[in-house]
């Protein structure tokens, strides 16, 4: 089975990736980079961290995870980032309301496109406000740049790769949607079929968080152990559009799981492809 490349140790990855609110300005001065607000344009206009620019790919679904679909999605995302003044080499710190799904998906996508200097503001805008830091309503003015794509598949997996090795003893597919979605009892309008990937273990995405921040590595490891998942398993989280699963992707990596791949197509793609198998019914452990 193809596995992702190795990742830094838990502490090293957390120190490199997570920025605490009280350290944000020092980090930006040191990095010489951009501060990205991944929330909606309306939230940005209502109040944001001074100096931030508004950019988000959250509303762009992956059409399919075959090579042509991913090339199309990557091009769209790169054009959005370039228009916002981001290049492949621009250090970025990204934030959400808290440590949410929008910021996680943005960080994952930039990593997939080949960016190697992405950071997440731990606790997001809410933590920034609790810290007593200033808030701005000034508009941002971006200077467009060219964003060169250098795809990295280390944290990516396609639907076809999943189906080719369903039931592999070392791979655990994790459904991080809500219980109704997992059981096929939801009414998501854009999904043509209901259910979950066969054999998927259900763990709701927010179980990896506490008070708007990632739980400790020990707490996350204990959670996975309670579901029969080991530190050496290859883990594949998915949700509806790859955002909740991106949040879980980072939680798992920060907790020391080096073999993690986000299924970015998630149920939006899986439900639209009738040749892909599905199951109905209740959650399960391994």
Backbone angles phi, psi at 17, to 5 degrees: -95, -45
**Containing structural domain, residue 72:** 10-130
Calculate mean pLDDT across residues 141-163: 96
- Are 123 and 196 in the same domain? no
| Residue 8 confidence (pLDDT) above 90 | no
Calculate mean pLDDT across residues 251-278: 97
Do the domain assignments include residue 64?
A: yes
93-251-35 Cα angle (round to 5): 5
- Are 21 and 110 in the same domain? yes
| Residue 176 confidence (pLDDT) above 90 | yes
Do the domain assignments include residue 2?
A: no
Which tens digits make up the pLDDT trace of 11-24? 678 889 999 999 99
| Residue 143 confidence (pLDDT) above 80 | yes
Count of structural domains within the chain: 2
The CATH number of whichever domain residue 96 belongs to comes to 3.40.250.10
Predicted confidence at residue 238, as pLDDT, reads: 98
Share of the chain above pLDDT 70, in %: 95
What gap in Å lies between CA 4 and CA 278, rounded to an integer?
Answer: 25
Q: What is the mean pLDDT of the chain?
A: 93
Beta-carbon neighbour count of residue 44 at 10 Å? 22
Which tens digits make up the pLDDT trace of 126-139? 999 999 999 999 99
Do the domain assignments include residue 138?
A: no
Predicted confidence at residue 5, as pLDDT, reads: 33
Predicted confidence at residue 140, as pLDDT, reads: 87
Calculate mean pLDDT across residues 72-96: 97
Do the domain assignments include residue 154?
A: no
Provide the phi-psi class of 172: left if phi over 0, else alpha when psi is between -120 and 50, else beta: beta
Do the domain assignments include residue 36?
A: yes
| Residue 100 confidence (pLDDT) above 80 | yes
Predicted confidence at residue 192, as pLDDT, reads: 86
96 in Cβ contact with 125 (< 8 Å): yes
What gap in Å lies between CA 131 and CA 36, rounded to an integer?
Answer: 19
- Are 84 and 122 in the same domain? yes
Calculate mean pLDDT across residues 32-42: 96
Do the domain assignments include residue 141?
A: no
- Are 123 and 179 in the same domain? no
258 in Cβ contact with 113 (< 8 Å): no
- Are 24 and 85 in the same domain? yes
Which tens digits make up the pLDDT trace of 209-254? 999 999 999 999 999 999 999 999 999 999 999 999 999 999 999 9
Provide the phi-psi class of 120: left if phi over 0, else alpha when psi is between -120 and 50, else beta: beta
In this structure, are strands 53-54 and 34-37 parallel, antiparallel, or unpaired?
Answer: parallel
Calculate mean pLDDT across residues 191-195: 93
SS3 annotation, the chain = CCCCCCCCCHHHHHHHHEECHHHHHHHHHHHCCEEEECCCHHHHHHCECCCCEECCCCCCCCCCCCHHHHHHHHHHHHHHHHHCCCCCCCCEEEECCCCCHHHHHHHHHHHHHCCCCEEEECCHHHHHHHCCCCCECCCCCCCCCCCCCCCCCCCECCHHHHHHCCCCCCEEEEECCCHHHHHCCCCCCCCCCCCECCCCEECCHHHHEECCEECCHHHHHHHHHHCCCCCCCEEEEECCCCCHHHHHHHHHHHCCCCCECECCCHHHHHCCCCCCCCECCCCCCC
Do the domain assignments include residue 126?
A: yes
Predicted confidence at residue 1, as pLDDT, reads: 30
Calculate mean pLDDT across residues 186-209: 95
- Are 14 and 125 in the same domain? yes
- Are 206 and 266 in the same domain? yes
- Are 167 and 263 in the same domain? yes
| Residue 286 confidence (pLDDT) above 90 | no
What gap in Å lies between CA 106 and CA 242, rounded to an integer?
Answer: 10
Calculate mean pLDDT across residues 24-51: 96
């Amino acid at each position: 089975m193809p596995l992702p490349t190795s990742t830094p140790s838990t502490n090293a990855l957390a120190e490199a990736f997570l920025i605490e609110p009280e350290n944000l300005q020092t980090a930006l001065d040191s990095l010489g980079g951009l501060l990205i607000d991944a929330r909606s344009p309306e939230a940005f206009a209502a109040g944001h961290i001074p100096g931030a620019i508004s950019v988000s790919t959250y509303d762009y679904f992956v059409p399919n995870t075959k090579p042509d679909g991913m090339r199309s999605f990557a091009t769209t995302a790169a054009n959005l980032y370039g228009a916002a003044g981001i290049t492949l080499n621009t250090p970025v710190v990204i934030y959400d309301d808290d440590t949410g799904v929008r910021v996680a998906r943005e960080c994952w996508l930039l990593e997939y496109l080949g960016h190697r200097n992405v950071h997440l503001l731990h606790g997001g805008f809410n933590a920034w406000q609790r810290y007593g830091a200033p808030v701005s309503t000034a508009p941002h003015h971006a200077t467009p740049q060219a964003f060169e794509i250098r795809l990295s598949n280390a944290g990516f997996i396609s639907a076809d790769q999943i189906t080719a090795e369903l039931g592999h003893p070392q791979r655990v597919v994790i459904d991080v949607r809500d219980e109704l979605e997992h059981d096929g009892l939801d009414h998501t309008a854009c999904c043509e079929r209901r259910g979950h990937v066969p054999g998927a273990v259900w763990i709701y995405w927010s179980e990896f968080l506490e008070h708007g921040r990632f739980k400790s590595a020990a707490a996350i490891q204990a959670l996975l152990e309670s579901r029969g998942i080991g530190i050496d398993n290859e883990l594949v989280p998915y949700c509806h559009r790859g955002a909740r699963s991106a949040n879980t992707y980072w939680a798992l990596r920060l907790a020391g799981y080096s073999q993690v791949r986000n299924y970015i197509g998630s149920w939006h793609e899986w439900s639209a492809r009738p040749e892909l198998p599905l199951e109905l019914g209740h959650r399960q452990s391994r």
